[in-house]
Amino acid sequence: MLSETNQLLRLSQGHLNLLEACPRKFQHTYLDQLNSPLNPEHEEHQTLGSQFHLLMQQREMGLPIGSFLEADTQLQNWMSGFTNAAPEILTPTDSQTFRESEHYRILQVQDYLLTVVYDLFIADSQQAQILDWKTYPKPQNKRKLEQNWQTRLYLYVLAETSAYLPKNISMTYWFVQSEGKPQSITFNYNLTQHQQTEKELNQLLNKLTNWLEDYQRNQLFPQVPENSKTCNYCHFAAHCARTQASEEYQQNYLPNLANIPEVSL
């Protein structure tokens, strides 16, 4: 839910992604708080994903996790697959000056508090790495992932809240369920990307400020254009009177696990 701290709205990457995909969907979800229909398959996957994140956190803190792994084969497979694929990530080295799981950062931009939580943050005197665990297969489209606000915001906030230069920052996603063997995608960062993100972020937040002011005057957030494909995958299609999209959603929409956000701990 959108939260407010002393008049500053707290926003995560999920808010920004939704706002960019369709402002009306953002309104229905966070301002009107209309409930999404529950999908048992999504829920089950989210729970398992959360448990994996929790285990990775406990492991990083040096707490025992054996009994949890014994109780769930899926978690056991993910954990052993990741341990084999990336042992260097799980083992601290002398050169690392900082390691923390569930590392939280916050940055104020305009009247908003942008919040990020890194699944694992590793830094040394020169470089800083953000690591993120995903419990679905590696997506085909790297460009789409690069444009996702999780990638853009996580890198941006780190550059703004630390002494590391953009060129010394990276973000790596680990997909623990990729064809039986965990696979990763790494995004390196640079000053040009940082400036571009800053521009796009401010543009989006400017729009949000205007839409929120309009909403106070009972004006609705804008919708995506009629016949937009976005509506075909949206559970508010009936609510928005996007009739054709609503029928398509009911008949054809098969859950795509890659669209399910990981649950933050």
Nearer to ligand SF4, 51 or 223 (CB): 223
Alpha helices in the chain, H assignment, sequence order: 13-21, 23-26, 40-60, 66-70, 73-85, 87-90, 142-147, 149-161, 191-216, 229-232, 243-252
Judged by CB under 6 A, the number of residues near ligand SF4 is 14
Binding mask 90-129 for ligand SF4 (x = CB under 6 A): ----------------------------------------
Nearer to ligand SF4, 80 or 210 (CB): 210
Least separation in angstroms between CB 213 and ligand SF4: 20
Residues of this chain, 16-55, that bind ligand SF4 according to CB under 6 A: 22, 24-25, 28
Query: What's the rounded Cα separation, in Å, for the pair 209 and 124?
Result: 38
Least separation in angstroms between CB 172 and ligand SF4: 31
Q: In Å, what is the CA distance from 20 to each residue of 111, 203, 215, 224? A: 18, 11, 17, 10
Binding mask 191-230 for ligand SF4 (x = CB under 6 A): --------------------------------xx-----x
Residue 119 has φ and ψ, to the nearest 5°, of -60, -40
How do strand 8-11 and strand 112-124 relate by DSSP bridges?
parallel
Nearer to ligand SF4, 103 or 242 (CB): 242
Nearer to ligand SF4, 1 or 163 (CB): 1
Helices 40-60 and 73-85 cross at an angle (nearest 10°) of 50
Query: What's the rounded Cα separation, in Å, for the pair 121 and 162?
Result: 12
Q: Which residues bind ligand SF4 (CB under 6 A)?
A: 22, 24-25, 28, 223-224, 230-231, 234, 236-237, 240, 242, 245
